[in-house]
Amino acid sequence: MLISHIEAFAAHAAVWGFLLVVFFMTIESSFIPFPSEVVMIPAGFLAARGALTTGNPVLDAAICVVCGTIGSLLGAYVNYFLAKRLGTPFLERYGKYFFLPPESLRRAEELFRQYGAGATFVCRLLPAIRQLISIPAGLARMPMGSFTLWTGLGAGIWVTVLTVVGYVVGSRTANMSYADLVHQGTAMVKQHFVWLVPALLVLFVGYVLVSKRIMKRSTPAAAA
C-alpha cells in the first residue's frame, strides 16, 4: 500500500525529491510506523539514474544521504521532546493509541538504561526498535548534544546503506518497477545485514571501553 502511494510522489522527484526524502524520513523516524526502505532505496536508485535535481548521480546520492539523516533527526526529536514532555505514566497508559505498545516501550527503556548513549547509536540500525529508542532518551533527559551526535551517526549509517543499495540497483538495472525495486533492495539489505552486525558490535564495544576509561579518570578527579 505504501509503495503504491509513494510511487506517485516519485514522479516529481526531479523537483521535490530531496524535500520528500526529508519529509518521509521524518515520519519514519517518529512514532508512526513507516519503513525507511521505501524511501531511501528508491532515492538511491533515482540518483543513480540521474533523475534527481542536479542530474549528477554521485552528488544526488550524497544529498539524499544528508536529507535522509536530517529527516531521521527531525523525527527522533519529535519522539524525544514528546517523551520528555509527557513522561512515562502517560506513554504507558496512552502510548498504544500512538503505535507505542507498553511492551515495546519497556524494552526500549531497558536497553537505554543498560547501554545509554551506545544504545541510541546501535539501535538506530536495528529493525523494530529503531524509532522507539529516542523515547527513553527523552524520558531520561539525555543531553541534546549527545543525543544528536549518536542518533545522527546511527541514522546516517543506516540511510547510507539503503541509499547505496538503491544506487547499486539503479546502476545495474535498465527498467524496474517501484515495487520490485523496494523488494529487491530490501532483500539485499537483509542478505548482507549479517556483515553489518559484527561491525556494530565492534563499534559498540569500543564505545563501552572508552566510556569506562573516561569514568575511571573522572572518578579520581572528583574525589580529589
Q: Dihedral sign, CA of 118, 37, 148, 31?
A: negative
Relative orientation angle of helices 102-115 and 57-94, to the nearest 10 degrees: 110
pLDDT tens by residue, 173-203: 766 666 677 777 777 776 666 666 566 666 6
Q: Taking all residues of the chain, what is their mean pLDDT, rounded to a whole number? A: 77
Where do the H-state alpha helices sit in the chain? 2-10, 13-29, 37-48, 57-94, 102-115, 117-122, 134-139, 144-172, 178-223
Three-state secondary structure call for residue 2 = helix
Does residue 11 sit in helix, strand or coil? coil
- Answer yes or no: are the C-beta atoms of 178 and 7 closer than 8 Å: yes
Grid cell of 75 as nine digits: 523525527
Q: What is the pLDDT of residues 58-81, one digit of tens each?
A: 999 999 999 999 999 999 999 899
Model pLDDT, residue 224: 45
**Which structural domain, as residue segments, surrounds residue 214?**
2-223
Tally of domains within the chain? 1
* Among candidate residues 70, 80, 78, the one with its CA nearest the CA of residue 25: 70
